[in-house]
Amino acid sequence: MTPAFEYVTYGRMDELHQLQSPRTGARAELNFILLSQAEELLFRAVGDDLHTAREALGGDRVEDACAALARAARTQRALLACWEPMNGMTADEFVAFREVLKNASGEQSVTYRSLEFLLGNRPERHVGTVRREGTPLLAEELGRPSLYDTALVWLAGRGCLDPSATPRAPWARQHELRAEIEDAWLEIYRDPGTHPQEFRLAEGLLEVAYQFSLWRAAHLLVVERMLGGKGGTGGTDGASWLRVINEHRFFPELWTFRTRL
């Protein structure tokens, strides 16, 4: 009998290695599944840290929030790096098994969607789907203020943001760009020495948003490399659809105020 090594038992490694079921004999399919699973788990790790950041900020523990944001950004860099081995697959190798994906698409990832919701991207299209289909994890997330909402409430509590511009329930809606919020970040960046904690939080948030946009941009390039102008398995027109999503920025006023600095 094989001895039960604690590494295998603790990490449930045997079960983990049962979770890949290629549907063809194509060389690249196993690797495609492994990388998709690795990214899915990393989405969860990022979500865990962002959740911690939100809790910390809600409890006025801004240093803890900044530490959690920095950890999330580290994991996001690992997520970005996952596109490297994905590009080890050539377009013809992808074509060799793409058909067996049927309508599977990363767009259906609940972990990814909850990450977007947590950060504050809550477009009506996705909110409506959750209302209709009631995915519990996503419905729960939409019932809470996003990380950005929480950051803005914290800023208001510090006297940096007019209470009239502070986000309020219901939370299940898209954040609209507001001039008062842009003004608040502008003031902080005009004099970081007077607002060191607010400035550190802003930089932590921006790094997370930046890493997220880098991941989206690399995904788009991989899609162009694999599909050219073909539509996606999820039913969109592929790269063109993703190009529009690439325009989105998390924490928008943190980007727009820079024009006036």
| Residue ranges that bind ligand HEM, judged by CB under 6 A | 35-36, 39-40, 86, 94, 105-107, 109, 112, 219, 222-223, 226-227, 232-236, 238, 241-242, 245
Report the C-alpha gap between 139 and 116 in whole angstroms: 13
In terms of CB distance, is 204 or 238 closer to ligand HEM? 238
Which residues are CB-neighbours of 220 under 8 A, at least 6 positions away? 239, 242, 243, 246
Which CB, 65 or 86, lies closer to ligand HEM? 86
Structure tokens belonging to residue 123 = 């477009």
Cα–Cα distance for residue pair 91/225, rounded to 1 Å? 7
Q: What tokens were used for 112?
A: 């990814």
The SS3 assignment for 182 reads helix
Q: How near is the Cβ of 247 to ligand HEM at its closest, in Å?
A: 11
Q: How far is the CB of 246 from ligand HEM (least distance, A)?
A: 9
Of 124, 41, 106, nearest in space to 75 by CA:
41
Closest approach of ligand HEM to the CB of residue 225, in Å: 8
Task: Give the nearest distance from C-beta 218 to ligand HEM in angstroms.
Answer: 10
Nearer to ligand HEM, 22 or 106 (CB): 106
Those residues with Cβ within 8 angstroms of residue 39's Cβ, 6 or more apart along the chain or in another chain: 79, 82
For the bound state, the minimum distance from the C-beta of residue 164 to ligand HEM, rounded and expressed in Å, comes to 32
Reduce the DSSP state of residue 257 to 3 states and report it.
helix
Cβ proximity to ligand HEM: between 9 and 103 the closer is 103
- Closer residue to ligand HEM, CB minimum distance, 20 or 236: 236
192 cis-preceded (ω within 30 degrees of 0): no
- Measured from the CB atom, the residue of 80 and 186 that comes closer to ligand HEM is 80
Q: Whole-number minimum distance, CB 59 to ligand HEM, in Å?
A: 30
CA atoms within 13 A of residue 10's CA, in its CB half-sphere = 3
State the minimum distance, in angstroms, from the CB of residue 249 to ligand HEM: 13
- Max distance between CA atoms of the chain, in angstroms, equals 70
User: Quick one: 9 or 37, whose CB is closer to ligand HEM?
Assistant: 37
DSSP 245: H
